[in-house]
Each structure stands twice: as C-alpha cells, then as structure tokens.
Structure 1
Amino acid sequence: MFQEILNRVYDVVGCDRMYVELKLFMRYPMPGKYVPIALEDDESLSAMWLSVTQTSAMAMEEHVDSDRDEDDDARNNDKAIKAGVPSQDWLRVDEVDQRTRVASLQQLKNFVKAWSISRNQMFRVLESEPTKYVIECARKEVCHCPWRLRAIMTKSFSFKIVRYVGPHASNCLGDITCGDHPLISSDFVADLIEDFIRTDPSFKVQSILTFVKNQYQFSITYKRAWLAKQKAISNIFGDWDKSYQELPDGTHLYGKYKGKLLIAMGTDANFQLFPLAFAVVEEESTEDWSWFLACIRRSVTDRKDLCVISDRHRGILAAMNEP
C-alpha cells in the first residue's frame, strides 16, 4: 500500500526517480503545533490511518519533500523546525511575567525542558518541591548568566511563575555539541509520545527515535526510546504488576451454599465487561478446574495458543497439562 501511494505521488509530481527522492511525512497534531512523522512503510501508513480514524484531529496531511530545489528545501526545513518547537507561549519565555500559569508542576518542568532543549541551553534545579520549583542557568558562574525562574503552587493547585530573570547572557551560548541532550530523559519522552501510544500502543520504537529527532534535532538511544514507551504505556493503561495484583481469581461464597464463584469475562468494543461462563465449585481441585476450563473450551473458544493468567494454583496447573 505504501509503495503504491509513493508511486502515485511520483506520477502526480512528475519527478524522475533517478534524480529526485521523495519522502512522505504526516503532520501529527499536538497541542499548539504539528509534529512531522516520517511515513516509510505499510506499518507507519497504518498508524497514520489509525490516528485519523480514532482521534478527533482530522487535520493531518501529507508533506512531500524533495531535493529538486534548494530554496524549497530551506523553506521545508524551516517549517519542520517551527513545527517541532514548543508551543508559541513558550517560544516567548523570555517575556514571561507573573501572569504566566501552567496546570501542574510536571507540565511546568516539561515546558521549561522543551524550551531549553530547543535553544541548546541547560539549567540546574535549586528547589523542587510539591509546592515550589526554582531553577537557574547551569552556566551561571562561567558566563555570569542571570537566567532564573521561580514558580509556586496557587490555591487552585496550578503553578504560577512569580519571578523570572532573562534572557540568558549574550555569551551564554549552547555548548552541547553531542547528538544527545541531557534534558531529553525517558520520562520527558514518555510525556511527549503519550498521545501516540494512546492511539496506537504498537507505535514503533524507531518511530519514537524519528519523532524526537524531528522535534528537537537531537538523537536519543534505542534503549531510552524503548523505556519511554514502557513508561507511557504504564501511565496510560496502568502498571503491569499492579494490574495483575488487582485481577481477581475467584469470589468466595459465604451464604448457605459454600464454595467459590468462578467467572470468565470478556470485553466488547465499548470496553464493557460481559460474562462468558461461570461456575460454583466447592474446592479448587484438578477435577473442578478441568471441568470449568473444558466448558470454556467447548462453549466459548477452541482457539490454540491462548494466554492464561492465574495464581498458579496446583489445580489450574494440573488441569492445563491435561489433553
């Protein structure tokens, strides 16, 4: 499918493949900006379609880039850089005054990091408490830079910047020349890609690497991108271990009839639970579990390679090992 679309674009544009290489990007809508994500294969094309159909942001469009015209390249690169920087409010962080507010401390941290990364700057944290956040330029002593920011929590639990000194000193220039930036942590990237993961949990790690590169012109390691994805999944869907602990394996009956109520449940398209099978057993023996699992196999599904999550009760293990 992707190759067919690319061929069609070549036909419409009228380019010769021998001299011109076309690249396709989707412009993914984020708060206050669009983020360019490369379309390279059928999987990335499917992810774009999934994003269009499952989110309200229908304004995605394809962006065609070529090396046919250097002026066009310059304009396209400028557009990509503008699309990759933080929201417009934080592009003017040098003009921040005491009216500036953000919803939470985490949002404040992310915005300051995004602004600093986009300008190749560094800061150090002086105070970081639930109700207060104070930072200053990391080159204060070397460059005599006065850059400093102080924010506190308000009565409405939002954060308000109460003191800001800026911009950075004229001699305080970005000196991070390596491909990576210390502020681009896995937690920071997890917040950036949360919308992607919520739309498509199978969003590829390679796409995360491309996204960060397009967003901030810095590269991160594969391991950090993978870890960021795991954190984003945990933030959205919950921690794997905690979720397993909340999974009930049965309900004890305390009325006239003793025993345990076992229920197999499914989830429909609206994420509503409905029972598939239930049974009351007097004890969790191999015989009881064999009968219950056989009922599911016969009446619910006979598919192979099903994943069974359990507390590894001896009766379950013995039943699972039976033909």
Structure 2
Amino acid sequence: MMRFKIALLVAGMLLSGLASAEVCTTQSQMTPADRDALATTARSLATEVQADNVKGLQSATVAEYAKDFSGIGDVVSATAAKLKGGAIEVEQVYLLDGTQLKKNADGSAPDAQFFCSLNKSVTEVDFLIPGLLPGRYGFVMVNVESSSPWQLSFLLRQDQGRWAMAGFYPKALTAAGHDGLWYWTQARAMATRKEHWNAWLYYQQAQALLQPTGFVQSSHLEKLKSEQAAAAPPALSDGVSPTAPLIVKGADGTEYRFIGLGVDDSLGAPKIDVLAHLQVDAATDPAVAKKRNADAASALLAAYPELRKAFHGVWIFAETTGQNPYATEESMGEIH
C-alpha cells in the first residue's frame, strides 16, 4: 500500500506558526515566459518519472534533497510502473512568490501561506506549506493518462536561474475505476439515504482522489469536508483516533477499539475496501492474531451492516505500540 508510505519532500516540517501570506499567481495571470518555463520543467520531470530515470531526476532536484535521494528514488520507481505508455499533459500551474519569507528566530524555515483567487472569483486554492525556505516557487500538476490515470504534482524552486524539483507528490486519480467526483456524488446519495457510514467513507475517498497533496486546500475541498462532517454518524462526532476510539462489541462481548477508519484500493478490486486500525495490547501468535482480526471485522460489520454493500472487504491493521502492525484483508463474503 504504497500511497500510505509516500514521503513528502518539504523541508523542515517544523510547525512554528504560519508566516504572513505570500503572493500567488495563477496560470491565467502569469507571464507567458513564467508559465512556459514551469510547464516545460514539470513536463520534463514527468517524462523522467515515467522512464524511471532516477539519476536524471536527482540532477534536476534542489541540492538539499538531491544529496540523499534513495527514498525519493524508491517512490519514483514504484510510480513509473503505473505510467507506462501514458500521455503526459500539464493540468495546472501556480507561481508562488516566497522571496519575502523570513527565517524564524531560531534559524528554521518559516511556514508559508499562498492564497490563489481563481479568475477573480470567490473560489480559491490555498497552499499552506510548512518549513519553506525563502525563494520563488512553482506548483505544477501533471496528469498522465495511462490504463489507470495518475497525477504527478511537483513543487519547483528557482535555483541559479533554473527551476528545480523541491517536492514530488504522485497519486492515482481513480479508485476501483472511479474518480473523485464519482465518489463525491455517491457520498451525497448515500447521505440522502441515511447510509451515514458509507457516505462518510466515500467522502474520504473523494478527498483522497481530488486533493493533490496535503498542503493544498481549496474552496471545493472545504465544501466536501463540510458535507462529510454533516453526514458523519453520531458515533464519529469526535472523530476516531487513539484518544477517541470507536468501541465495537463482538457477539461474545469482546470489545474492539478502532483508532482509525479509512479506505483502501491496493487490491484493485471492483470496489474499494474499508481500512480499520485496531488497537491491541500486545502482539500474539499469527494464528491467534488472524482470528482476532477476523473477529474484529465481523464485529464491525455486525454493528454497521450497511458497509457490506458499498465495499469489497475489510482490511484490519492490528497495532501495538513499538511494533509493526499485523494486517489482514477479507472480502465481505468471507466475513461472518
């Protein structure tokens, strides 16, 4: 499940308070020279990713990331396998001027905000990037139309007269054969039918497909999140987390403490899976752990049976502090 492991290449990650908003220029407002330079660089980088040319990408990356490229190289290779034969098209270009950013008192890079008004309307795309060094940046989204469409987003920084890669964010644009707008539409219909658990998770899938990366927000995504919050089941009023677990009882009275609920498309099944993180006290024998996971999945579906018709199956990740999780997946027909 690579998409849970992709590391974002943003310097610092020290949340020291957001800096004053910097300047964003959308592609319709920027000069042709800037727009063409950013688009050309991103298209070239996407071509290198598609070709799995890790060395070529390393040479086109800013120095602080180029010096240790092994992790990025792994992501590139995993992504390249998904892009074979795909047509490359630049989707959107933003110019982010952070030249006036000032380092924090301790010398760390500040956090930056860029508010981008689209066509002088109330619609916005916002970038809230942590730990950003002063400089001139671009953010470019490139779509690759292959058997399964992907989007490659690049954060670029102008270094010594050239645009170089300062961040790489690849993602699939579909899950189980459907795009983000389809999941959003389905979530709305589910909410209308009072299928609150299905709706809440389908909204989550819609956001995962529509959001280029975590530091990008927009008016449309805020609307989606607002709808998801309104559709959330009462049991999730406080969310689901280690401090606010979802507690479900099995038929024998055993309590299962779920500390995370999400969606997964790693199997390429006709429908997406439910992804549930289960808090357990200690690791145990694999046979016992497998039965515990199966019992937890059964308890979850017994409590919320609507999940059976909207999903392919259930992943259970049993998590113990300081140890790797024990993960199993069963299709709905296998869960009793």
How does the TM-score come out when normalised to structure 1? Answer: 0.22
* TM-score (normalizing by structure 2): 0.22
- Quick check: which one's strand share is greater? 2
**Greater C-alpha Rg:** 1
Larger RCO (CA within 8 A; separation ≥ 6)? 2
